[in-house]
Amino acid sequence: MIRNYVLESPETWQGRIDDTEDYDSFRWHQWIKLIDLNDNSLKAFDGTFAFCLIGFECDFGIGLNKGRVGAAKGPVSIRKELANLPCQFNEEIKIFDAGNIITDGLSLDEAQDCLGEAVNRILDLNMFPIVLGGGHETAFGHFKGLFKHFLKDDESIGIINFDAHFDTRPYEKFGGTSGTMFRQIRDLVQENGFDYNYMCIGIQKHSNTKSLFNFAKENEVKYILAKDIVNRDIPSLFDEIDEFIQSVDYIYITICSDVFSTAFAPGVSAPQALGMDPEKAIVLLKHILSHENVVSFDIAEVSPRFDKDNTTATLAAVLIFSLVTKISTLIEKRKNKKKIKRSRSY
């Protein structure tokens, strides 16, 4: 049984209704289905494709990192913006909401363990996890679930992180925070005899110490500076990204909302005056998703406490929408190719 796990209220998924029968008029709140991960009668999904949302109502890591707390309320804020999005995908694509991990009575490590169990359960049910943070400490819990699930296959997991920060600070003295996750992941995989595969997109020089850049060099961390995304054509970055993706078996995508300029994402723990343009991030995201080995996604550090007109939550919802529609389009294209091949074989 997953501890500190609560179901999402049906009242969260409400919104405009244009039609009650015409699927082409549906919005997400009309299509999403709530599930209980602790229900042992659940069977693995055997349809075309399923996404499953899980919230992580935690910002302990941000507090420990001396940041602006508030991201624990991120999941509900993001869900509200997702509710009215149109169903721009085939009816064969299903979306489930598995509820939330809460932190009552838990330490950060314990909360991350609970999230890991939830992610592992979603994968066991043959669904694609979409984790709604929470602080970016979400990433360590999320990765724990991926590692547990794929460890039995003895295959490699690559992380692509859209972030202004490496988040690889030392944690041995003071414990984990929202700035240590990717060093903790390094230690976890290496202790178990696996390679460390980490790429960060959107790094800001003014937001990372020289020591963190040294760590990146010593551990062969791949990164793309935010200024290079501004100064170069986006397609010119594809080769770097492709080389990384092709070097691993699976890809986990994580986005810290502070990678974006405050003009687009004011509701974050560490605002970025010179952050990324979301339009460029979406182009990169869709390119990454064009590879078939992407297995999970999360978005972190949406903090309603500091948001303006739900701008940051809306951006998070659009990024999730882009992910769902891109994967759905690719699935449809692959199905059509198979039909063409069958027709030519007769």
Provide the pLDDT for residue 343: 45
What is 5-341's CATH number, 3.40.1160.10, 3.40.800.10, 3.40.50.720, 3.40.50.2300?
A: 3.40.800.10
As beta bridge partners, residue 157 has 250
Provide the pLDDT for residue 339: 58
φ and ψ at residue 165, rounded to 5 degrees: -120, 150
Q: For residue 25, give the DSSP letter.
A: G
Cα separation, 332 vs 326, whole angstroms: 10
Cα separation, 17 vs 227, whole angstroms: 43
ω into 135 cis (within 30 of 0): no
Place of tokens 């909401």: 97
- Residue 331 contacts residue 128 (beta carbons within 8 Å): no
- Residue 29 contacts residue 129 (beta carbons within 8 Å): no
Cα separation, 304 vs 75, whole angstroms: 10
Provide the pLDDT for residue 334: 85
How many CB atoms are closer than 10 A to CB 53? Answer: 25
Provide the pLDDT for residue 312: 98
In three-state secondary structure terms, 305 is helix
C-alpha distances in angstroms, 8 versus 1, 11, 34, 76?
17, 8, 7, 9
| Token couple for 320 | 């999730």
Provide the pLDDT for residue 153: 74
The angle, 0 to 180 degrees and rounded to 10, between the axes of the packed helices 108-124 and 138-151 is: 40
187-199 residue pLDDT tens: 999 999 999 999 9
Q: Under 8 Å CB-to-CB from 274, ≥6 apart: which residues?
A: 204, 226, 261
Instruction: Please choose, from the candidates 250, 30, 45, the residue with its C-alpha nearest in 3D space to the C-alpha of residue 156.
Output: 250
Cα separation, 124 vs 83, whole angstroms: 26
Cα separation, 113 vs 140, whole angstroms: 9
Instruction: Please choose, from the candidates 249, 124, 116, the residue with its C-alpha nearest in 3D space to the C-alpha of residue 184.
Output: 116
> Is residue 303 left, alpha or beta, with left meaning phi > 0 and alpha meaning psi from -120 to 50?
beta
In three-state secondary structure terms, 162 is strand
Q: Please give the helix or strand (H or E) that residue 101 lies within, else none.
A: strand 93-101
Domain borders along the chain are 5-341
Cα separation, 283 vs 3, whole angstroms: 37
As beta bridge partners, residue 33 has 96
The angle, 0 to 180 degrees and rounded to 10, between the axes of the packed helices 138-151 and 181-191 is: 20
Cα separation, 343 vs 346, whole angstroms: 6
Rounded to 5 degrees, what angle do the CA atoms 190, 168, 75 make?
105
Per-run averaged pLDDT (10 residues), the chain, 346 residues: 97 96 98 98 97 98 95 98 97 98 97 98 98 98 97 89 98 95 98 96 97 98 96 92 97 98 96 93 98 97 96 98 98 77 47
Provide the pLDDT for residue 205: 96
- Residue 284 contacts residue 234 (beta carbons within 8 Å): yes
